[in-house]
């Protein structure tokens, strides 16, 4: 482990600048999903238990360096207080005075750091201003770690730095999934378009033993093999790219798994009349909306012989029944193997989390990342500035 955790830090009497992600959805001035707030609670409580003063730094929305009242973090204070079970002091300005006036057991929340243009510019001056009121820097916002901003990167170089509980858990999970995984490793990559995941596919074929491709992306790979995909979503202009990725996989000894059979329909709507056909027998007037039962059975067999699973993206149009069947079945198989201790399963990405929740198995996976862009960039093999700064 090349980074320090809260366990490595003496926090007694220390002011701990803690970067968190509480960029939560809101409606009519109320938080509608407090998941991100709830996930920072262990870090805040640990700092308090160790005698430290948690000073929370966070962004909210994209104000682009301007003060936008609707994007004030003041709006999340009630949800934050409810999650922590204690009052939170909101600080709009006058950092020094607010910190000097804080007592034991207090929690401070500074105003939206993106109100300051120096945040997204990774301005050292802004970082130094914040560092002047802190003794220790703790980053608990993996989801913002792919941004080289003042509170995710510059600040880590100005104070003794460590990872918070959520960040540490994320880094350990990612290391177990692709850094130093137990083999064989299988990756599931789905989604609508190959064009959005070129870097991801190019990186994975050199690091995993089997790559399962689903969703609209699979149609592009099937078409690249000369199959007629009818009216399916397909990036025909990326056929050469798909063939290049397949060749790179073959050279690296990575097996690419495409649907053997598919579920097709003439309409994209809930309950639309559908049928299962072989991948090579798609009717010209139909569109592929899910992987078929034979494909799912084959994916399940791969899961059974694997020890590590990394998942990003559904296998079909999971938002609409009955085209959620493949994603649900594969997710339940992975969950079953994880519960039995036979598989380490790590998943991430918005659609992925939604699909696993819909299948009722999110709690059974080894780790679910809600990090979005940071999770994807990590899977692409890119260096995340917020993580690198902790080393």
Instruction: Flag whether 106 is marked binding.
Output: no
Active-site residue set: 36, 193, 350, 373
Give pLDDT tens digits for 9-40.
999 999 999 999 999 999 988 999 998 999 99
The rounded percent of the chain whose pLDDT value lies above 90 is 87
DSSP annotation string for 321-380: TTTTHHHHHHHHHHHHHHHTTS-EEEEESHHHHHHHHHHT-GGGSSEEE--THHHHHHHT
**Does the bond joining 168 to the residue before it have cis omega, within 30 degrees of 0?**
no
The rounded Cα 296 to chain-centroid distance in angstroms is 24
Give pLDDT tens digits for 45-89.
999 999 999 999 999 999 999 999 999 999 999 999 999 999 999
Q: How confident is the model at residue 260 (pLDDT cuts 50, 70, 90)?
A: very high
What region, left, alpha or beta, does residue 244 occupy, with left being phi > 0 and alpha being psi -120 to 50 degrees? alpha
Structure token digits, residue 365: 């996976």
Neighbours of 383 (CB within 10 A): 9
pLDDT at residue 391 in the model: 87
Give pLDDT tens digits for 85-112.
999 999 998 999 999 999 999 999 999 9
CA-based nearest residue to 130, from 103, 164, 157, 163: 157
Report the greatest alpha carbon distance in the chain: 72
pLDDT at residue 2 in the model: 83
Structural contact between residues 383 and 146, judged by C-beta atoms closer than 8 angstroms:
no
pLDDT at residue 138 in the model: 98
As beta bridge partners, residue 210 has 186, 255
CA-based nearest residue to 186, from 355, 390, 342, 19: 342
3-state SS, residue 222: helix
* Cα 156 to Cα 56: distance, rounded to the nearest angstrom: 14
Instruction: Flag whether 59 is marked binding.
Output: yes
* Cα 356 to Cα 350: distance, rounded to the nearest angstrom: 10
CATH topology of domain 6-165: Rossmann fold (3.40.50)
Task: Kindly state the average pLDDT of the residues 188-214.
Answer: 94
Instruction: Flag whether 30 is marked binding.
Output: no
CATH no. for 181-379: 3.40.50.1260
* Cα 233 to Cα 219: distance, rounded to the nearest angstrom: 7
Neighbours of 102 (CB within 10 A): 17
Phi/psi at 314 (nearest 5 deg)? -75, 165
pLDDT at residue 351 in the model: 83
Task: Kindly state the average pLDDT of the residues 113-124.
Answer: 97
Instruction: Flag whether 349 is marked binding.
Output: yes
- pLDDT of 354 > 90? The answer is no
Domain residue spans in the chain? 6-165, 181-379
Q: Parallel, antiparallel, or unpaired for β 136-139 and 274-278? A: unpaired
Instruction: Flag whether 324 is marked binding.
Output: no
Give pLDDT tens digits for 278-325.
999 999 999 999 999 999 999 999 999 999 999 999 999 999 999 999
């Amino acid at each position: 482990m090349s980074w320090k955790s809260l366990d490595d830090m003496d926090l007694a009497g220390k002011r701990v600048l803690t970067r968190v992600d509480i960029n939560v959805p809101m409606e009519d001035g109320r938080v509608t999903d407090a998941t991100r707030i709830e996930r920072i609670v262990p870090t805040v409580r640990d700092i308090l238990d160790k005698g430290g003063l948690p000073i929370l730094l966070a962004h909210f929305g994209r104000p682009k360096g301007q003060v936008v009242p609707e994007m004030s973090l003041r709006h999340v204070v009630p949800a934050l207080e409810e999650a922590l079970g204690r009052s939170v002091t909101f600080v709009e300005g006058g950092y020094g005075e607010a910190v000097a006036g804080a007592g034991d057991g207090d929690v401070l929340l500074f105003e939206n750091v993106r109100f300051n243009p120096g945040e997204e510019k990774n301005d050292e001056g802004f970082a130094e201003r914040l560092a002047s009121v802190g003794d220790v820097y703790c980053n608990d916002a993996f989801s913002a770690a792919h941004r080289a901003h003042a509170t995710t990167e510059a600040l880590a170089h100005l104070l003794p730095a460590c990872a918070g509980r959520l960040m540490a858990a994320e880094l350990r999970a990612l290391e177990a999934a692709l850094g130093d995984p137990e083999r064989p490793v299988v990756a599931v990559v789905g989604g609508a378009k190959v064009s959005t995941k070129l870097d991801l596919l190019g990186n994975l074929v050199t690091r995993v033993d089997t790559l399962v491709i689903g969703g609209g992306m699979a149609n592009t790979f099937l078409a690249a093999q000369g199959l007629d995909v009818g009216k399916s979503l397909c990036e025909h202009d990326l056929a050469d790219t798909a063939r290049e990725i397949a060749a790179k996989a073959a050279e690296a000894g990575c097996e690419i798994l495409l649907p053997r059979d598919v579920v097709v329909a003439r309409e994209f709507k809930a309950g639309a009349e559908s049928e299962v056909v072989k991948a090579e027998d798609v009717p010209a007037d139909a569109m592929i909306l899910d992987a078929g039962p034979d494909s799912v059975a084959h994916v399940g067999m791969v899961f059974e012989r694997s020890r590590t699973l990394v998942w990003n993206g559904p296998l079909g149009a999971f938002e609409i029944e009955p085209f959620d069947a493949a994603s649900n079945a594969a997710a339940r198989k992975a969950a079953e193997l994880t519960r039995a201790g036979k598989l380490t399963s790590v998943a991430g990405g918005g659609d992925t989390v939604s699909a696993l929740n819909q299948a009722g198995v999110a709690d059974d996976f080894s780790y679910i990342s809600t990090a979005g862009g940071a999770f994807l960039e990590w899977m692409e093999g890119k260096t995340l500035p917020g993580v690198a700064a902790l080393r």
